Structure 1
Amino acid sequence: MPISLTREHDGRVARVRFDNAGRGNSFDDAALRELVATLEAAAAEPACAVVRLDMAGRHFCGGWDTASFAGLGAATTESVADGLRDSDAQLGRVRDLPVPVVAAVRGRVIGFGAGLLAALHLPIAGQNARLSLPEVRFGFAPAGVGFTIAHRLPRPHAYALLTGVTEATAEQLLGWGLVARVVPDDDLDAEVDAVVAGLAAVPGDTLRGVVGVVEASLATGSPERAYQISAATITSGELRA
């Protein structure tokens, strides 16, 4: 499926487009690996300050491609568990990118899409975006997505979503910290444009420093690494009076 990488704003912005719109932007192993590799290549360019992820079509993500479910019945429990670990490890590589990833979240966010959403740094949602977790209808309990939802949401809401009793609105996603902002659907692209342009104007490697501060703080629970990262940005010569 087409995954493209272009660069804008003198290389400060890397724009990655994922287009599996014909299947609702669903994923399989190959598509996920290709997207992650493209995002890493985008962020690896020293000039890059921000990555914009464009999910083509009407929906952010249709989850895991159900065409891949057919062979699971004959697989062993451990082999399936290994596959689930691997897909979560791929999402971990997105979380570990050294620059922020901005994305417009529109339409449906289904199943695995919740994990992708949680891996992004600055997802911005249209007001009609909806998240649903239909895995129970296929006869299985979600793994990595279940872990993410259980840790990010109040317990009753986690159960309501993971059992398929309800779906989440954009405003709920905002309240739970799964998106950074909610805007009218008609304004979504313009809002993402403005956020990306504003980030591209941040000097030097400052955004890489911000990502380092946030992720080190979350990982360690200590400000010690943040002191070092901040000091490096202050002494880098990019400081503005």
Structure 2
Amino acid sequence: MAAGRLTYEERRRIAEGLAAGLAYAEIARRLGRSTSTIVREVARNGGHHRYRANQAEQATRWRARRRPVPHAADLTAGPIAHPAASGGEPESVREFEERFAAMMTGTGIPAMMARVLVCLFAADTGGATAAELVARLRVSPASVSKAVGWLGERGLITRERRGRRERYLIDDHVWYQAWLASLHGMVLWARFTQQGAQLYGEGSPAGARLHTAGQFFRHLHRDMSQSAEHWRHTLAT
């Protein structure tokens, strides 16, 4: 099985394989690479639907130039507690995490945000500092900062300060919190589409279109609110 960095020719064949609908395992077999290598390559460079060989090649070269040297404080932070340390197989765990991140990317979560989210899911404590995430993911502090900001805005993670350090956490209620955050988005969509319908007039094509959109978001908000309330009662029992 081949080792070392992927070449541009291999990236081009990965892109062709994805376009042809091939599974990651089949692409890996044709290239003589491990499936985890292909999953990681795709997840880091836009995901299944956005992967492009040219862009992946350029991004890899950029990362190689910008890869940070760990700060002394980061080296003493210690590794994130990981399932593999509790008896799991390291290779199978890594492969699962890469496939998990690729799945998230394929459903709309940006690649860096997906990697951070998976890292927190896989940590035994459900949390990590920025320094720990930088060391574990081998990315720049700026990338981690942007990712945790994006995840925090959507209610997917919370912050906890311990002395001078800030930890980013994910808990069992994360999807309930994220659901509530998305409810706010539904309210905004309903409000603005209704305002647009009134502005253009419901008798016009634009007004009618906006009115229909407003009805959709109002009904969606109602159904999502009922589901969230049902889940809250389920958690309380």
Of structures 1 and 2, the larger Rg is shown by 2
TM-score by length of 2: 0.29
Higher relative contact order (CA 8 A, sep 6+): 1
Higher strand residue share: 1
TM-score for both structures, normalised by structure 1: 0.28
